[in-house]
């Protein structure tokens, strides 16, 4: 898996990393790849947003969360939330396109305020 391939469509997200279920018993089944972005990184308690792409059985999914990565959701804390999730996608490329579309839809809705 090439992290650059996933990082390119999300240039403001940093600290890209990945895990396999076989590497970490806390993770969900399959492979997960994520990057993070902080709204106000200089703050002590900065809120971090995460983009995660994960495999489940034979498909990929994309997720936008706040507080922590999607793959390690078993230890959610106060303020952690799933913001967007995609439907099951056949490929990583499809999951990236689907998540970007959901993010654009959310931004359009928020910009109407």
Is the pTM of the predicted complex or chain greater than 0.75? Answer: yes
pLDDT at 5: 83
HEC per residue, the chain: CCHHHHHCCCCCCEEEEEEECCCCCCCCCCEEEEEEEECCCCCCCCCEEEEEEEEECCEEEEEEEECCCHHHHHHCCCCCEEEEECCCECCHHHHHHHHHHHHHHHHHHHHCC
pLDDT tens across the length of the chain (113 residues): 567 888 889 999 999 988 876 555 554 567 888 899 998 889 888 888 999 998 877 899 999 998 887 766 555 566 678 899 999 999 999 999 999 999 999 999 989 76
């Amino acid at each position: 898996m090439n992290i650059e391939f996933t990082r390119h469509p999300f240039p403001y997200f940093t600290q890209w990393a990945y895990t396999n279920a076989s590497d970490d018993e806390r993770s969900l089944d399959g492979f997960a790849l994520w990057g993070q972005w902080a709204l106000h990184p200089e703050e002590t308690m900065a809120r971090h947003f995460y983009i995660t792409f994960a495999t489940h059985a034979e498909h990929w999914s994309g997720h936008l969360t706040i507080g922590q990565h999607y793959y390690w959701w078993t230890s959610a804390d106060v303020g952690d939330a799933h913001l967007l999730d995609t439907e099951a996608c056949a490929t990583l490329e499809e999951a990236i396109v689907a998540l970007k579309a959901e993010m654009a839809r959310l931004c359009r809705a928020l910009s109407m305020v």
